[in-house]
Amino acid sequence: MRVRTRARELALQFLFQMDFHDDAYREELDQYLSEALDGKSGADEAKAYAARVVDGVRANRREIDDLLRDAARNWELERMAVMDRNALRIGVYELLFAEDIPMRVAINEAIELAKRYSTEASGAFVNGILDRIRRDRGLS
């Protein structure tokens, strides 16, 4: 598995946890990433990228969630499956704030996370919302 793909998976899993308890996340994140990655190939790069994603989603969460609410017509953010919601947050973060990630990669990786950790139908759901945000923001 590619390093950034693994990093995104870890970020998704940790963001899932943050939906239930959000305080003192940074120490928990560092410990979580160390336990998950120590001794594995690309561990330092994966830890750094996963932390970047979690920190980025957290720092921009209000804007990200507002965009998701606007794009997810007929869906309340709070009623979305937790994994879908967090895969979307990662996708929006990478689309808008991670300039080194190509748009197509950000969308495809979010779709794959949703399909892997939620349901097969989640991929189409995530694709539709991220594509709407991409179009609305004039990204190409």
CA dihedral 81, 83, 88, 94 (to 10 degrees): 170
Q: What confidence tens digit (pLDDT) does each residue in 30-73 have?
A: 999 999 998 889 999 999 999 999 999 999 999 999 999 999 98
Residue with tokens 């590619």: 2
Quote the CA–CA distance of 1 and 15 in Å, as a whole number: 20
* 3-136 is a CATH 3.10.110.10 domain: no
Domain boundaries, given as residue ranges, for the chain: 3-136
pTM of the model: 0.89
pLDDT tens digit sequence for 99-133: 999 999 999 999 999 999 999 899 999 999 999 99
- Return d(Cα 89, Cα 112) in angstroms, integer: 14
Burial class (CB in 10 A: 0-12, 13-18, 19+), 16: middle
